Amino acid sequence: MGGTYECVAYNNVPPAVKRQIPVKVLYRPEIKLNNRRLGQYRGKETILECRITASPLDTYNWKRYSYGHLDDTWKYRKETFQEDKNTITYTLRIRSVEAHDFGMYTCEASNSVGRSQANMELYGNEI
């Protein structure tokens, strides 16, 4: 675990010597999904969500097979919610879901230590 650690050296000859040493632990991103499959009706709004933990917390994105990375538009909106120093909840809001929106979405994250991704399927519910 990272943080500031103190080292004390004492050899029965005063004074003791103390040093504080900052330790930073680096690790590749870990992605968790609340749902791997999410159903939605056409015409409704839906939100895909992934939770990313990494150190350092560097780059992350949503992508869609055959579309590539998704940019913020009137249709798609990405939002980031900071949970703690190394964890975010990253969402993709899809407005007015249509038939061509159904399929696989990928939440991906990378940093200097590595890369991770997780897939989520958005499928259509019938009325």
Contact 60, 107 (CB under 8 A): yes
pLDDT of residue 2: 78
pLDDT of residue 49: 97
Question: Mean pLDDT of successive 10-residue segments in the chain (127 residues)?
Answer: 86 88 93 95 96 95 83 91 95 94 95 96 85
pLDDT of residue 12: 85
pLDDT of residue 39: 94
* All domains in the chain, ordered by first residue: 28-124 (2.60.40.10)
pLDDT of residue 127: 58
